[in-house]
Amino acid sequence: MRVNPDSSPDAPASGRSVTTDARRAQIVAAAIGTVAELGYARASFAQIAKRAKLSSVRLISYHFQDKEDLFQALVDSVQESAQAFMQPRIHARPAPAAQLAAYIEANLEFLAEHPVEVRALVDVLANARREDGSPLVSSAGFDTPVSLLVRHLRDGQLSGDFRPFDPEAMALAIRASIDAAANRLSAGDDFDVRAYGRELVTLFALATGTEAGAGTEETK
């Protein structure tokens, strides 16, 4: 995430004016909606400007250097929204097994509540490419949860809450299961993501050696 600090107490953390940040957020939201509806390949500046109700595509170019800058902002925006949604839910349960359950539940709940953002994110990460085939945007931030999950699993093993296993292999399996749900949602598959999440909680409670379903909330 690119942050430019500013010493002004009235300025947002980005260092830009409130008006500028609001306009950028408006454009990013329009980009998310455009990609989700039309797909990345058809998400032109003209289409995004139309959705954002901008008078000219030049307003996009004024706030973003190029397509790479805009779509990186899209990726960062969805990631930041996911973190803000998930972190309070995870930290509310301090025990290792309960926190693992909360991590899985929060991921799947975010997918269920933000299908448009998820569809746009998956499409951009999969299809945004430069002419040489390299990714247009960086998804480095999305590798961070894996390393944090590895550390959490390792700490749980040291405390005796989890059985012995390869923490990295387990973390990758957990992330792959969550990412599979995101891919199904982005493809328009009709399935119960919350029910899927409950099954994942039980599956990985058993896989890590904790009591099945530990830390889950009662189904409402």
- Beta-carbon contacts of 104 under 8 Å, excluding residues fewer than 6 positions away, are 174, 178, 197, 200, 201, 204
Instruction: Establish if 30 belongs to a structural domain.
Output: yes
Q: Which runs of consecutive H residues, i.e. helices, occur in the chain?
A: 18-38, 45-51, 58-63, 67-91, 96-113, 115-127, 144-158, 167-186, 193-207
Domain limits for position 23: 18-207
Please list the pLDDT of the chain residue by residue as tens digits (220 residues): 222 223 333 444 567 789 889 999 999 999 999 999 999 999 999 999 999 999 999 999 999 999 999 999 999 999 999 999 999 999 999 899 999 999 999 999 999 999 999 999 999 999 999 888 888 888 766 666 789 999 999 999 999 999 999 999 999 999 999 999 999 988 877 889 999 999 999 999 999 985 544 444 444 4
Instruction: Establish if 141 belongs to a structural domain.
Output: yes
Q: Which two tokens stand for residue 79?
A: 């990631």
Q: Which two tokens stand for residue 101?
A: 């359950």
Instruction: Establish if 140 belongs to a structural domain.
Output: yes
Instruction: Establish if 219 belongs to a structural domain.
Output: no
Instruction: Establish if 13 belongs to a structural domain.
Output: no
Instruction: Establish if 147 belongs to a structural domain.
Output: yes
Instruction: Establish if 213 belongs to a structural domain.
Output: no
How many C-beta neighbours within 10 Å does residue 166 have? 11
Q: Which CATH number do you get for residue 158?
A: 1.10.357.10
| Under 8 Å between Cβ of 109 and 192 | no
Instruction: Establish if 148 belongs to a structural domain.
Output: yes
* Count of domains forming the chain: 1
